[in-house]
Amino acid sequence: MKAIDIRRQSGLPIKLDGHKLVFGQGMNKAVPEARTRNRMMPVLKNPGAHAPDEFYYMYRDVCMKKDAKKIRAAKLRYDITVLPPFTVGDEFNKTFGHFHSPVPGTKTWYPEVYEVLHGRAHYLLQNGSEFLVFDARKGDKCVMLPGFGHITINPSPNDTLVIANWVFPGFSSDYGPIEKLGGGQWYETVNGFVENRKYLVVPALKLITPKTISGLGLTRRPIYTEGVKNPKKFEWLWRPQDYLGVFEEYKKD
């Protein structure tokens, strides 16, 4: 199978070869961490169903070597995640899911922003009282809002999903709440969304549209390109308490 060039979508000299990334000249050669079947079992709809040994691959601190110092100084980190297309029983492949830690001294939590580089993504966001779903295609940007846990789904039967994200590297991820209840409030299957009955309350699904929004530095250009050109546009990733009004507007359709 011929490698797929994703330079135009990412702003970086990267190719997708099967389910792995190939980095071009001048790039920091990030080593992927695989999320294994054994680790994923606690959050699967059907833990006993047949599944591959590896569900997805996480590349952290991806960048051009010349940009590394500037990115660190801006309190940012750029990652790429690759999710192959398969199902576990009737459930689509997905990430484990987690919440972010709160910003010290505030009543808000660290957010994150994702961009689809190849394939199609469903981002599921839950905070107990709301359940939001992004249906995102190549080039779409989606904000993982403060206080929401999030799970990424690859709903395609054939296409590998490649997503990138900017994030503040100083927070910790909390996998416990989603692991304790066997996954998110809804599972996505080939027959549609199925309620996870381990939750006492499961909100209705609300579709939210991916947006470009100047208040968060999101344009049609790749988020890597925007972040390196003007890192200050993404300070909301580590100072979300100053952008609460923008986040509320972002949720509106």
| Domain edges within the chain | 4-251
For the segment 161-167, the average pLDDT, to the nearest whole number, is 98
Tell me the one-letter amino acid at 30: A
pLDDT band at 195 (very low <50, low <70, confident <90, very high): very high
**Rounded percentage of the chain residues whose pLDDT exceeds 90:** 94
251 pLDDT higher than 90: no
Residue 214, pLDDT > 90, answer no
E strands within 12-126?
Answer: 14-17, 20-23, 33-36, 54-59, 77-83, 87-88, 91-92, 99-100, 112-118, 121-126
Rg of the chain, C-alpha, whole Å: 17
Average pLDDT value for residue range 50-76: 97
Model pTM? 0.97
Q: What is the pLDDT of residue 20?
A: 96
At residue 109, the pLDDT reads 97
pLDDT at position 1 over 80? no
Average pLDDT over residues 244-251: 90
DSSP string, 97-112: -BEEPBPTTSS-B--E
Which of 228, 222, 217, 226 has its CA nearest to residue 68? Answer: 228
Q: Which CATH architecture has domain 4-251?
A: Sandwich (2.60)
- CA pair distance 131, 208, nearest whole angstrom: 10
pLDDT at 127 over 80: yes
Tell me which residue of 92, 94, 96 sits closest to 157, measured CA to CA. Answer: 92
- pLDDT, position 16: 98
pLDDT exceeds cutoff 80 at 101 = yes
pLDDT reading at 253 higher than 80: no
Tell me the average pLDDT across 153-165.
97
Please state, rounded to an integer, the average pLDDT across all residues of the chain: 96
